Amino acid sequence: MDYKKSKAPVTTITKNVDLLDRETNNIYQTVMIVAKRANQISVELKQELNRKLEEFAYYTDNLEEVFENREQIEISKFYERLPKPTLIALQEFMDNEIYYRLAEPEPEKEV
């Protein structure tokens, strides 16, 4: 998914809890679904950023040249301005774009 075109807000906004738990009927399950998706998004964004910054990696540079690389600074600033993974995941959940399965409870064993 292209997170750069996400409709997620850049800053945190207040959400109605009744709307969040409408699909799962349990706010804690909703939080776990969004948290797991946010972790996935975070890993994907970090890998993408590392791939782009790796182009600028020179292992023989001195410290002054590293701090003056404008392209690298612009790429980093672009990723800093993106919505946070939690906000992207929450927007995906609100738009019903997340597929999830809830584990079935194990039947109780008779003793």
Q: Are 31 and 87 in contact (CB under 8 A)?
A: no
6-57: pLDDT as tens digits: 778 788 788 888 888 888 888 999 999 999 999 999 999 999 988 888 877 6
82-91: pLDDT as tens digits: 899 999 999 9
Asked if the model's pLDDT at residue 69 lies above 80, the reply is no
Q: What is the token pair recorded at 11? A: 């800053």
- Does this model's pTM top 0.85? My answer is no
CA distance 111 to 98: 39
